[in-house]
Amino acid sequence: MAQKRALFFDMDGVIIDTERDGHRVAFNKAFEHFGYDFRWEVERYHSLLQVAGGKERMRHYFNEEGLFQELTPSDMTEHLKKLHARKTEIFLDMLQSGNLPLRPGVKRFMSEAMELNLTICVCTTANERAAAAVTEKMLAEIEFDHVLAGDVVSKKKPDPEIYLLALEKTDLAPEACIVIEDSAIGVAAARRAGLAVVATTNSYTEREDLQEAAIIVSCLGEPDGERGRLSKAPPDLDYDGVLHVRQVLDCLARHGAAALAARLLPLRRSRPAADPSSRVAGIEGQYGSGGQGTGRAEPGVCPRSQKPR
């Protein structure tokens, strides 16, 4: 059985509980800024979360409500970009103000992974500037090998493309990696990439079907703070409300989760080779071809050796 060598973290809902009191509020403030009187209430936003990506979520909502039908497809695309840009500025202000703290146990869990010399990646559909604010400021002590964010892939979760790209960037097989996710679409994306999953739920996703995950907890937990509640795990997992990286590695090794994940490996083999330049279309900034060893990072992809300190 392959030894686990990497952890792939989703961001929204996993690293920070951003959805209800972060992104939703930022969307509503952006709508207000543009003079619109519609708002996304808590329950409605939960249903909209089944559509990954902010621009995609707005497009879905506008189509459902019959809004902006007078716009041509190209005009709608430009309008969505403007709305999303304003929403991103609002959300970044919220992040930088410290109003959205890290979820319990996340930083500790990542630190444990660093001590074990595991590869650490963030795989998110969130805007790359928001991802940078979290990884380079709130988690400045953590050495991330790659931060894959924004439009670095063309297909959003539950499509597995973001995780397939992470496998490609790390040059690891699926059975060597574990994903930390929080939502049904995120778990589905990881499983379709052949990856084992640990799910950490939040106020939205605790009601979703996450049973494809090997372990489900309410949070990773802090020894001297909030502890998690266990919803699913192998019976021999010694769990006291705090989940440790070594526990997860040993548990999944004992129960063959890697072998189960590897059943979906043909999905990865069947993925056509992608043009690296196509992955970064629309990402902010011009950095050339990038990648580790070039001295410059690809837009939306921040390797460990290039992370600002």
Catalytic residue among 12, 17, 151, 182: 12
Q: What phi, psi does 259 have (nearest 5°)?
A: -65, -40
- Distance CA(94)–CA(120), nearest Å, equals 25
- Distance CA(27)–CA(81), nearest Å, equals 13
Catalytic residue among 10, 17, 145, 182: 10
Q: What phi, psi does 117 have (nearest 5°)?
A: 60, 35
Cβ atoms 208, 223 nearer than 8 A: no
Partnered with residue 178 across adjacent β-strands are 7, 196
Check if 10 is active-site: yes
Check if 12 is active-site: yes
Note the helical H segments in the chain. Answer: 24-33, 42-48, 54-65, 73-96, 106-115, 128-133, 161-170, 184-192, 245-255, 257-262, 265-269, 276-279
* 290 contacts: CB under 8 Å, gap ≥ 6: 280, 296, 297, 298, 299, 301
Catalytic residue ranges:
10, 12
